[in-house]
């Protein structure tokens, strides 16, 4: 079992250079969506996060200093401003009270260690047979790709599709948010943003 990350706070509040952040960031794999000041929503994926900031992979980037509201799976709503650009997205602050930061620290510890703790949400799920094997994948730019489902579980699906989005691409399968995690000869494997129920899968494919 890996060591549980510890989040630290300095004795005094002050501006720090990026390599001397007030909080230790941890790598987590979380999907979500965010809204810029133009009020348009876009998908995103967390690269790393601390109780004081987060780096996101995004299809679009706003302006430095622009306000952002994000809704992240397992974490909830956060808000802050864009501080810098990173490869494939941007980093933003997380504006929160000390109580909220303590809660975020606990959530991040859980997310960073859930695989090592063998929590039930991360175990392999049984496969199910969808009522209709045909669906569509929607990309971040709105482009729709017709697909056929060959394998689906409560946590993901394998689909045959003519155009294979890159690994890591955020997509929507039917009405369920997902991420491309693997390519195979005729299609892609997808991981859902959250574990689904059989009824939700059949109703949203």
Q: Say which CATH number the domain at 141 has.
A: 2.40.10.220
> pLDDT-based confidence at 150, cuts 50/70/90?
confident
8 Å CB contact between 42 and 60: yes
Mean pLDDT of 193-203: 79
Domain boundary among 72, 104, 121: 121
| Residue 25 or 61, more confident | 61
Domain boundary among 121, 138, 173: 121
Domain boundary among 121, 142, 174: 121
Domain span at 25: 18-121
| Residue 127 or 93, more confident | 93
Residue 111 sits at φ, ψ, to 5 deg, of: -65, -40
According to DSSP, the residues that pair with 15 across neighbouring strands are none
Structural domain count of the chain = 2
Tell me the whole-structure pTM to 2 decimals. Answer: 0.53
Whether 27 is covered by a domain: the verdict is yes
Average pLDDT value for the chain = 80
Q: What is the pLDDT of residue 54?
A: 95
24 lies in the same domain as 114: yes
3 state SS of 5: coil
């Amino acid at each position: 079992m890996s060591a549980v990350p510890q989040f630290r706070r300095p004795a005094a509040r002050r501006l720090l250079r990026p390599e001397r952040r007030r909080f230790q960031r941890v790598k987590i794999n979380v999907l979500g969506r965010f809204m810029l000041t133009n009020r348009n929503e876009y998908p995103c994926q967390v690269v790393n996060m601390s109780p004081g900031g987060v780096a996101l992979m995004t299809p679009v980037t706003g302006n430095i200093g622009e306000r952002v509201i994000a809704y992240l799976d397992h974490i909830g709503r956060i808000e802050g401003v864009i501080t810098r650009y990173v490869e494939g997205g941007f980093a933003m602050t997380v504006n929160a009270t000390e109580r909220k930061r303590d809660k975020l620290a606990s959530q991040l510890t859980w997310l960073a260690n859930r695989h090592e703790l063998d929590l039930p949400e991360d175990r392999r799920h049984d496969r199910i047979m969808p009522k209709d094997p045909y669906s569509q994948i929607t990309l971040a730019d709105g482009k729709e790709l017709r697909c056929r489902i060959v394998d689906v579980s409560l946590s993901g699906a394998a689909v045959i599709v003519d155009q294979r989005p890159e690994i890591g691409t955020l997509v929507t399968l039917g009405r369920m948010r997902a991420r491309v995690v693997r390519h195979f000869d005729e299609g892609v494997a997808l991981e859902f943003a959250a574990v689904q129920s059989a009824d939700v899968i059949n109703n949203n494919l």
